[in-house]
Chain A
Amino acid sequence: MIRIELAKQWRRPRTLLTFAALALFTVALTAALAATGAGKLERVGDIPLLVVPKRSGLSIPVIALSSTMKFFLPLAVAVFAGESVAGEAGWGSLRYTLARGVSRSRFLFSKLVVALLFSVVAVVLVPAAALAVGTVVFGWHPFTAIDGSASTAMHNTVVTFGSGASIARLGLGTAYVAAGMASIFAFAFLLSTLTTRPFAAVAGGVGLTIVSRVLNGDYLPGVAILSPYMPNNDVDLWQHFFQQPAQTSGMAHFLVLQVVYAGVFLSIAWWSFRRKDILT
């Protein structure tokens, strides 16, 4: 069933378009960075981490992942998860698949696995493409950044990582971002089982990202009490991997939060879909 689902989805124009758009973004980003003045510092995240993009191709994936994790990647993930079941309902092929004696759980599982696979590919694609393009344009040199949180007005704390350490930390960061998409993925997937309009499910996933972003104690002090429970706010903590030594506080909390959100949303999806009347 998973192979059937893969056959349906991988050649889908929307799938290829999403991957192409993400890859193209890294090219555009690299071009923009190459066009800016020599030695200019790029501020990354809230730490802040200041990197000089032109010094090494290894800095490009860090910047690319930072600039996609809050909107483009949640959007891509919401597309894959939100389109999965609702897209099939929209084509009218959902009733035929289920009328073939395919069990609801098996069907849902195949949808989940394939949408999950594409989502992970999307998250990995961004730093991978950025690394490739960045290395071609800026060369393969040790990654250097100024750790703003450890710096004072008089003294900049410069951190440098060799290529091996950079790749390892980048890999960990990518895995963290991928895991951080779990709540959005699960929410869009749940909506996908409830509606026959794929657009509504995708919009719902993106909507959750936006709600999470809005109810952020950093901008709205009144909702600070909610911030630790927002599904997407702490997706940027991976940047602390590039401090010396790496800071991991808050990561475990965020990952547990993802597991809880994903567990709840997917359980509801399973529970409702197994009982659902397929009338369309």
Chain B
Amino acid sequence: MKKETLDFEVALKKLEAIVQKLENPEVPLQDGFALYEEGMKLTGQMKKELNDIEKKVKILQSDAKGNLQETDFDSPDNE
């Protein structure tokens, strides 16, 4: 979970760099095409990641052994 989101930030930076590179007319067409493909793949993955997030609000509670466990947090706004 954590790793994915760190990747999101990295991916966004990468994507911005790709668009910037592609803007540069000096970049050969082959490289440009590779950049384009990579960029399109990234945007697809990133959108999917954003749309796939479906998590619940959790609250930490002590279990019988005194360890903290995550349980669903019931809040009137937590639909």
Please say whether chains A and B are actual partners in one complex. Answer: no
